[in-house]
Structure 1
Amino acid sequence: MKAPLAALLTGLFGLWSSFSTWAEPAQGSFIASQRCEAFQSIRKQSNPDDLKLEPGRRYEVVEVNKRDYDWLRIRIPGSATPLRWVSADCGSAEGIAFNTGKPAAFGESAGACNVPDQHDGYVLAATWQPGFCEHARYNGKKPECEGLDSGELQISHLTLHGLWPNRRSCGKDYGHCAGPEMKLSGDTLAYVRPWMPNFRYGTSFGRYQWDKHGVCQTQMDDDAYFRRAADLVRQLDQSAAGQYIVANIGGAISKRAFYERVEQDFGSRDAQNNFLLICSGKYLQEVRVSLPRALKQADNLVGVVDGQFAESRARDRSECSSDRILIEAGGR
């Protein structure tokens, strides 16, 4: 009995070790040699549609679980959830190259929560501005809230709080990296202003977002970063879930119905794990969306997420707790 038990413990330790580091973006090919299962999640071994590799077929590699990988994430055309994890033993990899600005390997830059390009994804934070201004606690004057209150400013769509590079091992502490100062062009300010209303009155909040979050990635300069963030919040607002919020201004939405619309948009229940609703009391304050590290150019959020669904929903003490969520209208 001792030998099987030792083998089991060794196997479990190896399995735990393979989950202790975070996936790393990569490029290359994987040629299947066996008809292995293609999993949506390594940890859960989930494969709801019983998708399997076709021996002899070449697949695009988009991610590996670590540098000395034993799992690869590949793209399987024709599937509703095309990005799947497969064991390296199921075939052979060719031309694997890792992205520049890579996440730190296990044991390298341990605890580096203020070093650029160590993120493993992004969080898009989109504010429901009337709900924030009326019910959230904030320090100092918010001119956009004063504008809403007076009727000078009319907002009937989600707005940009921030686009945050995120490193899971750091929790909420990844930020304040070294980087250049924000110097947005006039064209960029005009482009972003409708989606980040604080920019109508100044750039202090935008500068705060750049200094805390934007500089922790180097793939985009400040102009490209804020333009992309504005595009993403617009795509969220125009999605079925976003328009469900807009259609109920002054009323209420159902949290369950919101997530059902997310599932319909993305064609997968797992997509719900990428979304988080934040409330102040009973009122919607923010929608957060987990996005992959490689922000693909796409016409909608479905294309940006590209089937890269989180294994579980993020946790936050301000998550909306009840099914009925009130949608505040601007003004008095």
Structure 2
Amino acid sequence: MAWKAAVLLIFACLAFARPSGARDPVAPVMPPLLATRTVFSVSWLPGFCETRAKRPECREQTAERFDARHFTLHGLWPVKKRFCGVSADLRRTDRRGRWLELPAVDLSKATAERLATVMPGIRSGLDRHQWLASGTCQPLSPEAYFARQIAFLDRLNASPVRALFESRLGMSVRQEEVAAAFAEAFGDGAGTRIRLRCARDGSRTVITGMTIGLGGEGGLEGDMAELILASAQTRGTCLEGVVDAAGLQ
């Protein structure tokens, strides 16, 4: 049993060699991984309508309407999840663009009325499409899902980001300027979580909207600034575009 005695002697030597009061090494606490869980998409409708003039929400647009000078709702999309539990028949109807034939979304009167203002695309059935394509893949009810989007939109429209766009009606704005406005509104680094969406309109590039990454658990709960900064950084291909005004060619 000499080997046992040798092992005990080694452990005893190590114990005496350990400095008094020394602590076991503690693994460093790693920051949570930044990941985009949800994409919040908004439209700048005057630019959107330059290339989709026949859409109902575009035919009826005026310079006095809310969407002429404010961002409007496009959607809130869980990443890599689509049409959860939706029948094949409804998916086919959606793919054909027959959105007004999709089931109406169950909303309170107050939320439905507000959505009619902040999501002009409901004239084309956009709310029905967004609920089936994306809303079915997250835990909130239709009422809570759209109310959350409206709250995000209100925060964006009350921020320096909208003020920047309104100040540039009919003129160009660069992506780095929009990023700086996001940083002012939502914290350092927020501007690296957005992408401008643009389209060609003759010789011009017009901004049609933007997407904003959201992180956190599900990308829905919590303060908007915290959710943005919890998402992964991104970079789009549109670096500059015209902030179109309603009716301006």
The verdict on a shared fold, with TM-score over 0.5 as the criterion, is yes
Say if 2:212 is the partner of 1:289.
Answer: yes
CA contact (8 A) 2:44 2:209 kept: yes
- Equivalent position SS for 2:60: helix
Root mean square deviation, CA, Å: 2.9
Residues 257 and 228 of structure 1, relative CA distance in 2, 3 Å threshold: same
CA contact (8 A) 1:177 1:215 kept: yes
Q: Which residue of structure 2 aligns with residue 147 of structure 1? A: 60
Aligned length: 202
Say if 2:199 is the partner of 1:280.
Answer: yes
Counterpart CA distance in 2 for 1:290 and 1:152 is 30
Residues 185 and 264 of structure 1, relative CA distance in 2, 3 Å threshold: closer
Residues 189-235 of structure 1, C-alpha deviations (whole Å, 9 max, x = no match): 01222210233x47x221011111110112x1011111111111221
- Equivalent position SS for 1:296: coil
Q: Which residue of structure 2 aligns with residue 215 of structure 1? A: 136
Counterpart CA distance in 1 for 2:46 and 2:151 is 21
Which TM-score applies when normalising by structure 1?
0.54
| AA partner of residue 308 (structure 1) | A
Q: Which residue of structure 1 aligns with residue 159 of structure 2? A: 239
C-alpha deviation, 1:120, in angstroms: 6.5
Which TM-score applies when normalising by structure 2?
0.70
Residues 37 and 214 of structure 1, relative CA distance in 2, 3 Å threshold: closer
Say if 2:170 is the partner of 1:250.
Answer: yes
Counterpart CA distance in 1 for 2:176 and 2:235 is 17
| AA partner of residue 238 (structure 2) | C
Q: Which residue of structure 2 aligns with residue 325 of structure 1? A: 241
Gaps of 5+ in 2: 1-24, 88-102
Counterpart CA distance in 2 for 1:121 and 1:304 is 9
Same amino acid, percent of matched pairs: 25
- Equivalent position SS for 1:194: helix
Counterpart CA distance in 2 for 1:309 and 1:121 is 7
| AA partner of residue 146 (structure 1) | R
Counterpart CA distance in 2 for 1:309 and 1:223 is 25
Q: Write the mapping of 1:162-241 to structure 2, written as runs, cut at 5 A.
A: 162-167=75-80, 174-178=81-85, 182-199=105-122, 201=123, 204-218=125-139, 220-241=140-161
CA contact (8 A) 1:121 1:290 kept: yes
Q: Write the mapping of 1:1-332 to structure 2, written as runs, cut at 5 A.
A: 34=26, 36=28, 38-39=30-31, 73=32, 121-136=37-52, 141-148=54-61, 153-154=65-66, 155-167=68-80, 174-178=81-85, 182-199=105-122, 201=123, 204-218=125-139, 220-269=140-189, 271-281=190-200, 282-292=205-215, 293-298=218-223, 301-305=224-228, 307-310=229-232, 312-313=233-234, 315=236, 319-321=237-239, 324-331=240-247
Residues 262-302 of structure 1, C-alpha deviations (whole Å, 9 max, x = no match): 23334323x3331111111311011100112242343xx31
CA contact (8 A) 2:193 2:231 kept: yes
Name the larger-Rg structure: 2
Residues 223-268 of structure 1, C-alpha deviations (whole Å, 9 max, x = no match): 1111111111221222222321122122221222111222333432
Deviant stretches of 4+, over 4 Å:
none
Residues 152 and 235 of structure 1, relative CA distance in 2, 3 Å threshold: closer
Counterpart CA distance in 1 for 2:30 and 2:132 is 40
Residues 320 and 297 of structure 1, relative CA distance in 2, 3 Å threshold: same
Counterpart CA distance in 2 for 1:144 and 1:289 is 23
Residues 40-95 of structure 1, C-alpha deviations (whole Å, 9 max, x = no match): xxxxxxxxxxxxxxxxxxxxxxxxxxxxxxxxx2xxxxxxxxxx78xxxxxxxxxx
